[in-house]
């Protein structure tokens, strides 16, 4: 069953249209997580997007362990992420509005529901639902629809990167550094860092998936709003990695992306295995 919760009022527009008109008024802001500046900056590994070429495509899945339609979308995201030739950055956000319908998802966070709601505003949708996949901030479809997702990835590839971004980690895996540069005038944009974990399993006891063991990859554990940027400039920030004792460090990765504050277009993205 795909759950639909009416949370915003708007007119439903085509889900797979790239050039939606820009909004002139800001959308509701997403919650920000605390960011600490660290002194270390010793690069052990680097991921870069060049603003003169094609950028990695960010695939964001909004999912829940309480939704019986979501496991197939989770599996598809894992499959797409393992195909290195696709040059994508998969991210799975577990939303919390299923937590009151029989099973509390251990990976769900309110900020992920707020992020999905911001997309609903930007894409003129009047519902939130799972599983939903948002491709590069501007296209969306049901998260288990393989063909629509592949079509959206191909569409997104036709648009070159508007900025460059470099993501590097230190030897202690305690901080990451984000460098960004733009040769064009960027509109007001946000720099985000997502920490994700692979190879997670849950034995679901109740709800629509009760009795099943679910496997997840690219589960976002922490979404950090680093800064706002705009214009044509270079930008740099070093961010502490808030590692939780329950995370498996060998399965942790990071992604960084520059995203339009209003229409949610992603201008640059990079990912890194810590």
Give residue-wise pLDDT tens across range 96-148.
999 999 999 999 999 999 999 999 999 999 999 999 999 999 999 999 999 99
Give me the pLDDT at residue 241, please. 83
How high is the pLDDT of residue 8? 35
Contacts of 39 (CB under 8 A, 6+ apart): 238
The label of the residue with tokens 């964001």 reads: 60
In this prediction the pTM is: 0.82
pLDDT at residue 21 greater than cutoff 70: no
The pLDDT, as a whole number, for residue 18 is 36
pLDDT of 33 > 60? The answer is no
pLDDT for position 25: 32
| Average of per-residue pLDDT across 242-261 | 92
Per-residue pLDDT of 154-168, as tens digits, reads 999 988 888 999 999
Comparing 92 with 157, which gets the higher pLDDT?
Answer: 92
Q: What is the pLDDT of residues 178-230, one digit of tens each?
A: 999 988 899 999 999 999 999 999 999 999 999 999 999 999 999 999 999 99
For residues 234-261, give the mean pLDDT: 91
Quick one: tokens of 247? Answer: 């995370």
Tell me what pLDDT residue 40 has.
24
- pLDDT on residue 61: 99
> Mean per-residue pLDDT for 169-177?
79
Longest dimension (CA), the chain: 53
| pLDDT tops 70 at residue 31 | no
- Tell me the fold of 36-273: Glutaredoxin (3.40.30)
43 pLDDT more than 70: no
Exposure on the CB side of residue 186, measured as CA atoms within 13 A: 31
Share of the chain above pLDDT 90, in %: 65
**pLDDT class for 50, splitting at 50, 70, 90?**
low
Mean pLDDT estimate for the chain: 83
Split at pLDDT 50, 70, 90, the class of 54 is low
| Residue 30 DSSP symbol | P
Mean pLDDT is lowest, of 57-66, 100-109, 164-173, 252-261, for 164-173
Whole-angstrom distance, CA of residue 220 vs CA of residue 188? 24
Neighbours of 257 (CB within 10 A): 30
């Amino acid at each position: 069953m795909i759950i639909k919760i009416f949370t915003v009022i708007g007119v439903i527009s085509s889900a797979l249209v790239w050039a939606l008109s820009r909004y002139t008024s800001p959308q509701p802001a997403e919650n920000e997580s605390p960011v600490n500046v660290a002194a270390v900056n010793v690069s052990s590994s680097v991921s870069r997007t060049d603003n003169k070429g094609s950028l990695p495509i960010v695939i964001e899945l909004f999912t829940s362990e309480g939704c019986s339609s979501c496991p197939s979308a989770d599996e598809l995201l894992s499959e797409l992420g393992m195909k290195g030739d696709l040059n994508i950055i998969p991210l799975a956000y577990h939303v919390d509005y299923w937590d009151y319908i029989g099973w509390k998802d251990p990976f769900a966070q309110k900020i992920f529901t707020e992020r999905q709601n911001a997309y609903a505003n930007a894409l003129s949708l009047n519902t939130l639902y799972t599983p939903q996949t948002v491709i590069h901030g501007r296209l969306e479809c049901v998260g288990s629809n393989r063909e629509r997702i592949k079509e959206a990835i191909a569409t997104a590839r036709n648009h070159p990167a508007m900025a460059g971004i470099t993501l590097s980690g230190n030897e202690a895996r305690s901080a990451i550094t984000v460098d960004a540069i733009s040769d064009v005038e960027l509109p007001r944009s946000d720099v985000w860092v997502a920490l994700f974990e692979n190879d997670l399993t849950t034995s679901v006891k109740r709800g629509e998936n009760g009795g099943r063991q679910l496997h997840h990859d690219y589960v976002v554990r922490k979404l950090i709003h680093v800064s706002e940027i705009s214009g044509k400039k270079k930008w740099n920030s070093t961010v502490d990695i808030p590692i939780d004792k329950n995370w498996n460090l060998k399965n942790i990765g990071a992604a960084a992306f520059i995203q339009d504050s209003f229409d949610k277009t992603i201008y640059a993205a990079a990912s890194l295995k810590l």
